[in-house]
């Protein structure tokens, strides 16, 4: 998956949104829960992978479908963000693609003149 953002905050928000978008139709997801997401990394790539792992855990571990993200603070070693959504309900939500894990394979984060580019491979 390739992700773009004008800023690094936008890159992280778009990457997290893409996970939910691949999994389900986010238009059917209401906002009833808010979760704080905190991750650490050794560089931008590691940080993005670790952040997305936390995002994915909110579904795989807590059963939450999330579609609305914000980044509160970010540097190459830390990120703090928020996510909004609701508990997965098999009667209302359909899982289109199961994402099992976020991998390091070809993980990339670059700042370019046009903005930020990221690449992450998911295990589906």
Contact with another protein (CB under 8 A): which of 10, 21, 46, 68? Answer: 46
Contact with another protein (CB under 8 A): which of 31, 38, 101, 108? Answer: 101
Contact with another protein (CB under 8 A): which of 7, 28, 42, 72? Answer: 42
Give how many residues touch another protein by CB under 8 A: 26
Contact with another protein (CB under 8 A): which of 16, 64, 107, 120? Answer: 107
List of residues 6+ apart from 26 with CB closer than 8 A: 17, 20, 65, 67
C-alpha closest to that of 56 among 90, 9, 88: 88
List of residues 6+ apart from 5 with CB closer than 8 A: 11, 12, 13, 14, 115, 116, 118
> Segment 57-96, which members bind another protein (CB under 8 A)?
57, 60-63, 88, 95-96
Segment lying near another protein (by CB under 8 A), choices 3-11, 25-33, 71-79, 102-110: 102-110
Residue whose CB is less far from another protein, 34 or 101: 101
SS3 107: strand
């Amino acid at each position: 998956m390739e992700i773009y953002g004008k800023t690094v905050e936008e890159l992280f928000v778009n990457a997290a949104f893409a996970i939910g978008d691949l999994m389900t139709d986010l238009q059917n997801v209401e906002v009833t829960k808010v979760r704080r997401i905190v991750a650490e990394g050794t560089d931008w790539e590691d940080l993005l992978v670790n952040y997305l792992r936390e995002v994915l855990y909110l579904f795989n571990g807590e059963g939450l479908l999330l579609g609305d993200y914000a980044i509160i603070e970010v540097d190459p070693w830390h990120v703090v963000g928020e996510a909004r959504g609701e508990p997965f309900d098999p009667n209302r939500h359909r899982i289109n693609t199961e994402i099992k894990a976020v991998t390091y394979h070809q993980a990339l984060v670059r700042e370019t003149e046009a903005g930020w580019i990221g690449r992450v491979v998911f295990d589906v």
